[in-house]
Amino acid sequence: MKQLDQALNPISLRKPGYLWDLLKSLVDRDLKLMYKRSTLGIAWTLINPLLQLLVFIFVFQLIIKIDIPQYSSYVFTGLLAWNWFQNSLFQATGIIIDSRPLIRQPGFPSVTLPVVVVTTGLIHFILALPVLVVFLLIDGVQLTPIVLCLPLLQLIQFGLTVTLSYFLAAVNVTFRDTQHTLGVLLQFLFYLTPIFYEIDSIPERFWYAYGLNPMVHIVTCYRQILIWGVQPDWLALVIIAGVTLILLPIGYRVFRRQSLRFVEEI
């Protein structure tokens, strides 16, 4: 792609702001390659969570009835947040191996690749928001000014996902089973996140361990902002943001140290 070739030009790599230009070019490339020769294209961003939503509505509203108000909005909100997190982590874990031609280019800043994956996931999340708003309106939800906190919540989730992505991408280059293991762990974690059930259904004796899952609090905060129109759990968000600020530099350093062996190991 012409824009990417220009961004990877040795002269461009020395210009101020080149990382931003490179990031934009790589995200644009990812979006185009992801839906290349696909008839429905970016519509798959919505099709997957909508199909999941239909399954949950069928099972938990028609067969095993769960009494949760605005259930469609409730589940769809959780699915969008979770899919961004899950897909980004899974793709970021294998991004170094999948980007051999880029990694082998002299001077290429491999640290941008996990950020590219998470940014692409964020774009998909944003593109799905109008559909979520339609669900909210159909369910009779009235958006309140607290919705202005949404970008802050997205920023916290973005930082958390990038942090984990650095660790996983670095480890996967040496231990190729990491991505496969992650798939199993994410499936397990999905059921430990209140996507299709209420958080109150968790027995109190398990709450401490259950609450260690950051996505429990992030998904709940999305619902507080979008569905219930109340202040999000600021304490939980501050803790997640604080832990992220501590771990992000560590993950970045681990990734940079491991990147010295990327060309040899891929």
Instruction: Give the pLDDT of the chain (266 residues) as one tens digit per residue.
Output: 545 545 555 444 555 467 788 888 898 888 777 766 666 666 667 778 888 889 888 888 888 888 899 999 999 999 999 999 999 999 999 999 988 888 888 888 999 999 999 999 999 999 999 999 999 999 999 999 999 999 999 999 999 999 999 999 999 998 888 999 999 999 999 999 999 999 988 998 999 999 999 999 999 999 999 999 999 999 999 999 999 999 999 999 999 999 888 877 66
Which amino acid appears at position 230 of this protein?
A: V
pLDDT of residue 19: 78
pLDDT of residue 159: 98
pLDDT of residue 11: 41
Among the residues of 139-149, which ranges form H helices? none
Which amino acid appears at position 169 of this protein?
A: A
pLDDT of residue 138: 93
pLDDT of residue 37: 62
Give, in order, the Cα–Cα distances in Å from 107 to each of 61, 174, 260: 54, 21, 11
d(CA 155, CA 144): 20
User: Do residues 48 and 83 touch, judged by C-beta distance below 8 A?
Assistant: yes
pLDDT of residue 196: 93
pLDDT of residue 4: 52
Q: Which residue has the tokens 């159909």?
A: 138
- How many CB atoms are located within 10 Å of the residue 137 CB? 12
